[in-house]
Amino acid sequence: MGSERIEKRKRQMSIAQEPPRAARGQHAGGNRGSNACCFCWCCCCSCSCLTVRNQEEQRPRRASHEPRIGLPTCEKSATPTLEEVSAWAQSFDKLMITPAGRDTFREFLRTEFSEENMLFWMACEELKTEANKNMIEEKARIIYEDYISILSPKEVSLDSGVREVINRNMLEPSPDIFDDAQLQIYTLMHRDSYPRFMNSTLYKDLLQSLSEKSI
């Protein structure tokens, strides 16, 4: 709402053919000082917050950030074999170690509205393969904004201690900055989602279909 009010005020000032800075100074009750409030009394308390938020919003919108699918949002995998699908029932690790297993499990998570857990885990794996310092910082920021920020609709569930460590390390991110968070989400998927996946119609139908084909 704050940004929409600001844009509306800017358009009004443009129509009046007044320079934006002058208009802002005039609107602050005649105080033209550089520290005057920007637009109106109801926005005073959010001026500094808007500045910080605008700076953060500008970062992922650079040209290099446009292909956000550079972080794995989709994983191509071959059709799994009967032996492979049967092995998924042995352990969560055997499910997660194969592309087909991750893809099938992610499909199940989507039905439970928790797909962001797998997407976050995959993005962390992708970050660990990056060696370029600038790309590490860029990808870490994207992951933070997509899955760690409390403003994100895809925020994953992390405890406050892990979140605080990430916030401190974001000043100089490394490829393993999200290791603790990734382990926490992996454990969550293992204990919470994996048992339901094994009992789901998605898994049982896939297993049955492959069994029939093998016969």
What gap in Å lies between CA 37 and CA 44, rounded to an integer? Answer: 6
139 contacts 71 by C-beta, under 8 angstroms: yes
pLDDT at 4: 53
What is the C-alpha to C-alpha distance for residues 19 and 56, in angstroms, rounded to an integer? 26
* Backbone angle region of 73, left / alpha / beta, with phi > 0 → left and psi within -120 to 50 → alpha: alpha
Q: Are 158 and 148 in contact (CB under 8 A)?
A: yes
Predicted TM-score of the model (pTM): 0.66
Cβ-based neighbours of 142, under 8 Å, separated by 6 or more: 60, 65, 68, 71, 123
The better pLDDT of the pair 140, 22 is held by 140
Q: At residue 154, does pLDDT exceed 80?
A: yes
Q: Are 148 and 166 in contact (CB under 8 A)?
A: yes
Confidence check: pLDDT of 12 > 90? no
Averaged pLDDT of the chain: 78
pLDDT band at 74 (very low <50, low <70, confident <90, very high): low
**Which are the contacts of 72, defined by CB distance < 8 A and separation ≥ 6?**
119, 122, 123, 125, 126
Rounded distance between C-alpha atoms, residue 210 and residue 79, angstroms: 10
How many whole angstroms separate alpha carbon 23 and alpha carbon 25?
Answer: 5
Write down the pLDDT at residue 142.
98
